[in-house]
Structure 1
C-alpha cells in the first residue's frame, strides 16, 4: 500500500485503534484538523492581545500584564498539550475528531471570558473554558492508555496529573482573594510538571520531532498574522479619525518591518533538532514567552498608534517601550532557542543582545525621536541584527577548512 493510500485509509475512519505513531515517519505534516484547531486558538490569542491593548492605552500596565500572562498561559498550555499528544497519537477517526471539537469549544468559552478577566478580575468563565479543554485532553489520554499498552504507564500518568490539577483549578474559584496569586503560581507549576513526570517516570510518548517543529512554526506565523491584523486595525482607526499623519505612516512601516524581520529570524537556520526530552521541553516551554511576546507586539503597536493620535493615557516613551519590550524579549528568546535546538542559526549570542539593547534604547527615546521614528528605528535595528548574524555565519563557514 502506498503512503497516500495509507493516509486516505486513516483519515476520517469511524473508529481506529489508538496506537503510537512512528516518530521517524516520513513526510509527517500538520493535518487539516490541526490547522483548524490553531485558528480556533488564535481567537483567544486575539482576545487576550486586544484586552492588553486596552489596558496599555489606559495606562494600566501592571494589571494588564498580569491578566495577559494568566490568560495566555491557559491558551498556550492547552494548545501545546494537544499538539504533542497529536504528534504521538493522531488516529484522526470520528472519536478523535469529536474530542478535538470539544477542545475547540472550550477555547471559545475561554475567549468569551477574557474581557471579564481583565476588567473585573473574574476568571470564572476562563477557568470553565480551560477545564473543558483539559477534560477532553484527559479523555484522549485515557483512550491512549486503553488502546496502546506499550505507552500505558505514561498515558495514565498524564491522565492522573491532568485530573488532579483540573480539580485544583476548580477549587481555586472559591479560594479567598488573598490566596489567588499563590494558588495560581502553584497550579501553573503543577501543570508544567505533569509532562516531565509522565515522560521521565512512565513510557515516553512517541512524538515526531519534525512534526513538532513544524507545528510551532505554523503557530508562530499565525500569531504574526494577528500582529499585522491588529496593526491594520489601529492604522484604520487613526486614519479615520485624523487622516494619515507622518507618525502613523512610520509606525505602520516600522511595525511591518518588525513582523517580517522577526519572522525571518525565527525561520533562519537549518532543521530544529529535538533530540532529547530536555531539549524538546525547553523548546516547547520557551515558546510560551515567544508567542506571548509576539502577540503583545500587536497590542503595543496599537497602543503606539493611539498615543500618536493622543487617544491613550500613556506617554510616548511608555508607548515606545510597549513596542520595544516584546521585540527585545523575542530577539533574546529566539537566539536562545536556536542554540538549544542546534539549528546553526546563531553566530554569536552577543549580536541578539546588542539588537535587543538597541531596540530598548529606541523605545526609551521615543519622546525625543518621535514615536513613529522610534518604531521605524526598531525595525531597522532588528534588520541590522539579522544581517550581522547572517554575515557572521557565512564568514565563519567560509573560514572553515575544506
Structure 2
C-alpha cells in the first residue's frame, strides 16, 4: 500500500535528527566511558521510539490487545531506565566484580525489556502468514530473557557479564535475520 508522507511525519523526522545531533554534541563534550554509556543508552531510546513511530505497527483491534500494547510500554520504559542506571554503575566500577544488587538490576532490567518486546510482538497487527514467525520470535526473545536473568546467579566480573549479555541479546536479532533471509527471501515484511 503506497501512501504519501505527511508534514507531521517530516516534522517528527526533523525532531529526531535534532535529538540525535544533541546527543552527539553532549558526547563530544564528555568523551569518557560514562559519556559513551550515557550516549548509547539515550541513543537507543531515541532510536527505538523513532522506529516504533515510523513502522506504523498498530495493536490488534481487541480491547485486551490494545491494553496489552499500551500498558507494556510502561514496564519496558522502566526497564530501559533501570538498565541505564545499571550501566552507569557498571561503568563506574569497571574491572571489578559486580555487586549483587547491580548485577540483578542489570540482568533483571534487560530481561524485563526483552519480555515486554516479546509480548508487544504478540499484540500488533500482522499479515496472517507472518503470525507464526513473530510468535516464534517472541519465544526466542523470552528464552534469551530467561537466560539473561540466570546470569544474576553468577558472581562474574563486568566484562564476562557484558559479553554474555550482548551475545544473548543478539540471539533474537539473529533469529530475525535468519527468518528475513531464508524464509521471506529477504523481502520487507509489509505491516499495514
1:276 match? 61
Q: CA deviation at 1:363?
A: 3.8
Q: CA deviation at 1:301?
A: 0.5
Q: Which ranges in structure 2 are unaligned for 5 or more consecutive residues? A: 186-192
Aligned length: 161
Residue of structure 1 aligned with 2:167, choices 360, 363, 380: 380
Is 1:328 aligned with 2:111?
yes
Measured in 1, the distance between the counterparts of 2:179 and 2:165 equals: 21
Deviations 1:226-265 (Å, cap 9, x if unpaired)? xx97xx798349xxxxxxxxxxx9xx6xx959x76xx67x
Measured in 2, the distance between the counterparts of 1:330 and 1:296 equals: 10
Is 1:397 aligned with 2:184?
yes
TM-score, normalised to structure 1's length? 0.32
Matched-pair contact (CA < 8 Å) for 1:347–1:392: no
Q: 1:355 to 1:28 in 2, by over 3 A?
A: farther
Q: CA deviation at 1:382?
A: 0.8
Q: 1:233 to 1:321 in 2, by over 3 A?
A: farther
Is 1:291 aligned with 2:80?
no
Q: Which ranges in structure 1 are unaligned for 5 or more consecutive residues? A: 1-23, 37-217, 238-248
Matches within 5 A, 1:293-312: 293-308=79-94
Q: CA deviation at 1:333?
A: 0.8
Q: CA deviation at 1:298?
A: 0.9
Q: 1:342 to 1:275 in 2, by over 3 A?
A: closer
Matches within 5 A, 1:197-346: 235-236=33-34, 256=40, 267=51, 271-274=56-59, 276=61, 278=63, 279-308=65-94, 315-343=98-126, 346=134
Matched-pair contact (CA < 8 Å) for 1:351–1:389: no
Q: SS at 1:29's partner residue? A: helix
1:354 match? 143
Matched-pair contact (CA < 8 Å) for 1:347–1:390: no
Is 1:27 aligned with 2:6?
yes
Between structure 1 and structure 2, the one with the greater Rg is 1
Measured in 2, the distance between the counterparts of 1:357 and 1:275 equals: 26
Measured in 1, the distance between the counterparts of 2:124 and 2:163 equals: 31
Matched-pair contact (CA < 8 Å) for 1:347–1:393: no
Q: SS at 2:8's partner residue? A: coil
Cα RMSD (Å): 4.3
Matched-pair contact (CA < 8 Å) for 2:144–2:172: yes
1:148 match? none
With a CA cutoff of 8 Å and minimum separation of 6, indicate the structure with the bigger relative contact order.
Answer: 2
Measured in 2, the distance between the counterparts of 1:233 and 1:280 equals: 42
TM-score, normalised to structure 2's length? 0.61
Measured in 2, the distance between the counterparts of 1:234 and 1:296 equals: 21
Deviations 1:358-397 (Å, cap 9, x if unpaired)? 22233432x23x1122013211211122112331354443
Q: CA deviation at 1:329?
A: 1.0
Q: 1:309 to 1:375 in 2, by over 3 A?
A: closer
